[in-house]
Structure 1
Amino acid sequence: MKFAEPTDGQKLSFLLEKAASREAELWRSYVPKKPANQDTDISPAQRDEAVRWLTDVHLRLKLYPETLCLAISILDRFLSTIKARPKYLRCIAITCFFLAAKTSEEDERIPALRELISSSACGCTPSEVLRMERIVLDKLSWNLHAATALDFLHIFHAMVFSCKAASLGVLSGLNRSQHLALLTQELLHCLSHNALLQERGSMLALALVTLQLENLCPDWLALAADLLRKVQIDSFKLIGCRELVARCLSTHTASLPPNTVYVCHPLQTPHDPCMPFHPVPPALPLRRKPSAKRKVEQMDVDEYFDGIKRLYNEEEPGGGGGATPGFQSIEGGSTPCPALQPVTVS
């Protein structure tokens, strides 16, 4: 019997149900309290400072946003189960980041521990991070695959765009990936505020999406009600979360990351009268006297190399082996491809 493949809506509903199940299993509200003693308790402001510091480390290493969101999730779950001193906070934070990188990144993108310690300037030794890593894993029962707010944001965003792709693109002036990038920046900004720690990741993501829908779609309320029904969130709780998120985003300005563009500008030839021509001096060929044992072999391959030179225009009209004017020399040879020039905006 041949089964039909599920539609995109069915796939998204399945992913949402799976993420909600993982969140219900692992999520625990972390409510930081004002410390009675600054030397023995981590304050809410210190937690937010650690998250912003992890954000800077993440930007420096250019890792996935999923890695940062998972690191913050691991950090908050760990701090909700133990009582740690502020002097250990950076060691805990960089350990959570290291665990998240090993969970979310490809193997070749995972930073080495010494490189991570050096680039982050966390002040820890590798042995201290490894010991803290074992403590974090034991406290979290070796279960790091929690559903983060970014997971829900991706699902909700895909659901909305599957219904309103054309209208959202026209109204926002952004394509799908650009719109999601701005929402991700807003989410990361919200995660660094302890006022939102009592909200589940699904609630936080839905609040961000519905705030965007309110600004872009006249019929946003119907879409929000459909998402509420699918994720089974109380509408009164969503209203309260939206107010907190709007207050948090009032001091934040999201912008698309800069995208460096390189344009190939071919070097001018002497036949172009409009542009000055600066030829590259021909490379000096390396001439070695062949040994007696290689004379016969050299005669057999001369024609082969001559054909390669003609193919890449490396012979001068006079039959020499120098580089063609207008191309850059590489290790005594030449390349027919001009160098890429960065775009300069005046």
Structure 2
Amino acid sequence: MKFTLPLESRKLSSLLEKAVSREAKLWKVYVPKKPTNQDTDISPEKRDEAVRWLRDVHSQLKLYPETLCLAIGILDRFLSAIKARPKYLRCIAISCFFLAVKTSEEDERIPSLRELASSSKCGCSPSEILRMERIVLDKLNWDLHSATALDFLYIFHAMVLSCKSGRLNMALSGLNPSQHVALLTQQLFHCLAHNALLQVRSSLLSLGLITLELEKLCPDWLALTVDLLHRLQIDSSQLISCRELVARCLSTHMASLPPNTVYICHPLPEPRDGGVLPMWYVSPAPTAPSDPNTTHTRSCKSSAKRKVEHMEVDEYFDGIKRLYNEESPQEGAPTYTAETPGGGQSLPVTQQNAGSSPCPPLQPVRET
């Protein structure tokens, strides 16, 4: 059933109120522990390392993004309640992850405990994970259904689309709603792996992340931000401080190459037989060239960047597109088959936009 706009808005408001109430009940101010001994205390840096490891396990098993976010939340709640030794951290982390899997995933998607212990290489036996599970549940009073940052992100995103869906969709630069929220999810998980943001409520963290995105996409982003602030009853100074932390965190996002890398644009080779170009060619955005050489290189850089962003989004897109009932990233787009650069297995290639020319690959300069 597809809701009309007023009913949809009321439903989103109700979901937000329930999430805020749940967060107020379970959330506690994070007090960072100052390690006195590396062998007896879990430092914030080790916590971040455990979160990044859980991201790798989650990516390998291809589970829903909600599962990973809940696992991180359970881990943080447990570590704030007890004092554990670093040698038990992986056992704690994988136990929290398995609890989240059994809470969020459908039965047919839940891996066996033996399979999880083997594939994650956590160094724990299934019986040790089960014992740690019981400890975690006892410390958290068997209450795992907390409101996560991803829950708030989904609600805020749906609210924004319901208010300004037409204008915002035009500003998404070709991303449909599921792809856009998948990109935000990838950014959120990057933030959750930084202990500097542990002192920020999940609702505030998601609000700071989505308002930073709105600032780039929507002309009247400030009015939308004020409305969301009013719904959360949060002071604007808290949001400003959170936005600064999130922006600083995202600025440290790992890149494939250093920012000052020098690129060389090689001549464009002739198309292969049948006029099909290799998979690694991408179409640059049309620009009004002033200097042909400069414009060609800049277009290649921007196209390569967009391709990398889409590859990162794909990790979470499959688990998110069900939210907006989208079956594929680009429905109805014709595809062709092209060979990989090394002559390996052929891959599907989406048809290039009419009138755009392919951009040759860029390579960093090698020192001679």
Is residue 153 of structure 1 aligned with residue 153 of structure 2? yes
Amino acid paired to 1:36: T
Amino acid paired to 2:313: L
CA drift at 1:71: 0.1
Give the corresponding residue for 1:181.
182
Cα distance in 1 for residues equivalent to 2:5 and 2:243: 36
Cα distance in 1 for residues equivalent to 2:225 and 2:82: 37
Structure 1's 130 and 222: CA in aligned 2 closer, same or farther, altered over 3 A?
Answer: same
| Residues 58-112 of structure 1: per-residue CA shift (max 9 Å, x gap) | 0000000000000000000000000000000000000000000000000010110
CA drift at 1:172: 1.9
Cα distance in 1 for residues equivalent to 2:31 and 2:44: 9
TM-score (normalised: structure 2):
0.69
Cα distance in 2 for residues equivalent to 1:13 and 1:181: 22
CA contact (8 A) 1:48 1:192 kept: yes
Cα distance in 1 for residues equivalent to 2:158 and 2:207: 12
Amino acid paired to 2:245: L
Is residue 128 of structure 1 aligned with residue 128 of structure 2? yes
Identity %: 71
CA contact (8 A) 2:336 2:349 kept: no
Cα distance in 1 for residues equivalent to 2:204 and 2:36: 31
Give the corresponding residue for 1:306.
none
SS in 1 for 2:34: coil
Q: Which has the higher contact order (CA 8 A, sep 6+)?
A: 2
CA contact (8 A) 1:190 1:196 kept: yes
Give the corresponding residue for 1:343.
348
TM-score (normalised: structure 1):
0.74
Give the corresponding residue for 2:340.
none
CA contact (8 A) 1:152 1:205 kept: yes
SS in 2 for 1:71: helix
CA contact (8 A) 2:41 2:84 kept: yes
Cα distance in 2 for residues equivalent to 1:172 and 1:106: 32
Give the corresponding residue for 2:235.
234
CA drift at 1:234: 1.1
Give the corresponding residue for 1:206.
207
Cα distance in 2 for residues equivalent to 1:136 and 1:97: 11
SS in 1 for 2:84: coil
Give the corresponding residue for 2:192.
191
Deviates more, 1:56-65 or 1:20-29: 20-29
Give the corresponding residue for 1:62.
62
CA drift at 1:34: 2.7
Larger Rg: 1
CA contact (8 A) 2:209 2:243 kept: yes
Cα distance in 1 for residues equivalent to 2:31 and 2:5: 43
Q: Which runs of 5 or more residues in structure 2 are unaligned? A: 256-308, 316-327, 338-345, 351-359, 361-368
- What does 1:27-46 align with in structure 2 at a 5 Å threshold? 27-46=27-46
CA drift at 1:256: 2.5
Cα distance in 2 for residues equivalent to 1:87 and 1:236: 40
- What does 1:257-268 align with in structure 2 at a 5 Å threshold? 257=314
CA drift at 1:42: 0.3
Cα distance in 2 for residues equivalent to 1:138 and 1:183: 33
Cα distance in 1 for residues equivalent to 2:193 and 2:228: 25
CA drift at 1:41: 0.5
Give the corresponding residue for 2:78.
78
SS in 1 for 2:313: coil
**What root-mean-square deviation, in Å, do the aligned CA atoms of Structure 1 and Structure 2 show?**
2.4
- What does 1:288-303 align with in structure 2 at a 5 Å threshold? none
CA contact (8 A) 1:196 1:244 kept: yes
Give the corresponding residue for 1:138.
138
Aligned partner of 2:313 among 247, 251, 256: 256
CA drift at 1:168: 1.4
Give the corresponding residue for 2:320.
none
CA contact (8 A) 1:30 1:79 kept: no
CA contact (8 A) 2:191 2:249 kept: yes
CA contact (8 A) 1:262 1:342 kept: no
SS in 1 for 2:40: coil
